[in-house]
Amino acid sequence: MSATVKNLGEQGLLKIFRQYCSEVVGDDAANMGETLPDHQMVVTTDMLIDGVHFSDRTTSPEDVGWRAAAVNLSDLAAMGAKPWSLVMAVGLPADTAIAWIEGVYRGFSECLRTYGTELVGGDTVRSPIRTLSVTAFGQVHKNQIIQRHTARVGDAIVMTGLHGLSKAGLELLFNPELKEKLLSPLKIGERILAGGELVQAICRYHQRPVPRFDTIAVLHKILKHQNDFPISGMDSSDGLADAIAQICRSSQVGAKIFWRSLPIHRAVRTLAGDRALDWVLYGGEDFELVLCMPIELAKQFVNQLSSAVIIGEIIKGNQIDGLEMRSAFQHY
């Protein structure tokens, strides 16, 4: 039988935690220093529960850790912020395998390293259910904050990458027999894949979401010599349709979607059949950014960022043409 948290004791658990934590002093609170000049701090928090947000059936401990970091970092990217640091509180049953929690910390740290940030504090408590609660801090120049209530009539609506692939990955993980539908090789990112490699690549869209800090860097590059920062938006964690609807509601505008420009990946078409558009609009958890900006800027942006696509336009009113307003995630 493998070693459990109960065997290890609280001090042992703390020792493992500290291997992944950059703060070693161990005071009551972690010291994070000052904000950068002219920058503001933004903060976001997400709780992940075993059986609700992850499951041993679909997610390795490393992937649970990666996801716990990535969903929070995506919220920072959506505000146009650079990551500053994170804290993670963990609730664990006494019979949790040590290997599981080590895997979680490993995946979490891998994500943090990838995006140049670090874990500075946490808490470890006993709980009947495995629970992770992550809070992430970012910094953003006070003139470069991206919010959802500032979209303007005439703005182009841009999405930073494909939608529906996270849902496709989740479906493959729950229903492995679906892989028999993937008969021919498909292009995923820059590569053409088939068979097990193709299945794995699609599953990774669900298991390893990517916070789109790269798109923020592109925006800053384009806008370098401009005083104005005419960008609004949010991430698409609750679905592409939800993101468009939230931006429109907050900004008191409507939207026209360019349905013919909306890309649907062949893997989504193959797996979802006639529900393909549903997966794209309502599948959720793609963690792309949905950004609104003047059309000239949008053209430069999609030119510089090959994954980005102009999918619509902000219009007067409060309607989003052809979009059925149902939410991807109704948690209760």
Quick one: which of 75, 67, 66 has its CA closest to 110? Answer: 66
Can residue 148 be called a binding residue for its own copies (CB under 8 A)? yes
Q: Which stretch binds its own copies (CB under 8 A): 141-149, 202-210, 212-220, 296-304?
A: 141-149
| Cβ contact 167:209 at 8 Å | no
Give SS3 for 331.
Answer: coil
| Cβ contact 329:284 at 8 Å | yes
**Interface residues for its own copies in 109-138 (CB under 8 A)?**
120-129, 131, 133, 135-138
Task: Write the CA distances from 151 to 106, 221, 235, 277, integer angstroms.
Answer: 39, 21, 14, 25
Q: Minimum Å distance from CB 242 to its own copies?
A: 12
Q: Minimum Å distance from CB 246 to its own copies?
A: 8
Q: Which is nearer to its own copies, 104 or 272 (CB)?
A: 104
Query: CA dihedral defined by 278, 255, 45, 216, rounded to 10 degrees?
Result: 100
Q: Which of 63, 75, 242, 288 binds its own copies (CB under 8 A)?
A: 75
Q: Minimum Å distance from CB 113 to its own copies?
A: 20
**Interface residues for its own copies in 38-67 (CB under 8 A)?**
38-49, 51-53
Cα–Cα distance measured from residue 14 to residue 8, given in angstroms and rounded to the nearest whole number = 10
Can residue 35 be called a binding residue for its own copies (CB under 8 A)? yes
Q: Which of 70, 79, 210, 268 binds its own copies (CB under 8 A)?
A: 79
**Interface residues for its own copies in 273-332 (CB under 8 A)?**
329-332
The number of residues in the chain equals 332
Q: Which is nearer to its own copies, 148 or 265 (CB)?
A: 148
**Interface residues for its own copies in 86-105 (CB under 8 A)?**
87-91, 94
Quick one: which of 207, 221, 218, 204 has its CA closest to 291? Answer: 218
Can residue 1 be called a binding residue for its own copies (CB under 8 A)? no
Q: Minimum Å distance from CB 290 to its own copies?
A: 11
**Interface residues for its own copies in 201-240 (CB under 8 A)?**
234-235
Quick one: which of 8, 16, 18, 19 has its CA closest to 96? Answer: 8
Number of chain residues interacting with its own copies (CB under 8 A): 74
**Interface residues for its own copies in 242-271 (CB under 8 A)?**
246, 250
Q: Minimum Å distance from CB 196 to its own copies?
A: 33
Read off the amino acid at residue 27.
D
Under DSSP, the state recorded for 58 is T
Q: Which of 1, 29, 225, 228 binds its own copies (CB under 8 A)?
A: 29
Q: Which stretch binds its own copies (CB under 8 A): 8-16, 200-208, 222-230, 277-285?
A: 8-16
Cα–Cα distance measured from residue 328 to residue 116, given in angstroms and rounded to the nearest whole number = 31
Neighbours of 133 (CB within 10 A): 17
Q: Which is nearer to its own copies, 138 or 312 (CB)?
A: 138
| Cβ contact 206:169 at 8 Å | yes
